[in-house]
Amino acid sequence: MSETTAVPLTHRQLELVLCLASGMRPRDIAEDKHLSKSSVDKTLARARSLAGASTNTHLVAIAIVNNWLVYDHHAGDQHP
């Protein structure tokens, strides 16, 4: 099992990364979370910057490789 590295992202940033990982697009995330698309875009841009990612897909990959997103087999739900 891989070790979890320190998470440089906020809870909100991780929440949005989890949405991306589940296949949602930024506009879908905005609608689902009752946020403006601009707010989602800015939050994800900051998360990409902090994680050293060049794209949202890269951001999700970094989060997965570093175990920032955890799957709870008992609850059947993912959470940051």
Q: What is the pLDDT of residues 28-53, one digit of tens each?
A: 999 999 999 999 999 999 999 999 99
CATH number at residue 30: 1.10.10.10
In a domain, 4, yes or no: no
Q: Is 72 among the domain residues?
A: yes
Question: Looking at the domain assignment, is residue 40 inside a domain?
Answer: yes
Q: Residue 57: which pLDDT band, with cuts at 50, 70 and 90?
A: very high
Write down the mean pLDDT value for the chain. Answer: 88
Q: Is residue 39 one of the residues assigned to a domain? A: yes
* Dist. CA 7–CA 40, nearest whole Å: 19
pLDDT at 17 over 70: yes
Structural domain boundaries enclosing 16: 11-79
| 3 in a structural domain | no
Give how many domains the chain has, as a whole number.
1
Evaluate whether residue 31 is within a structural domain. Answer: yes
Q: Record the pTM.
A: 0.81
| 79 phi, psi to nearest 5 deg | -155, 150
Which residue is listed with tokens 């994800």?
44
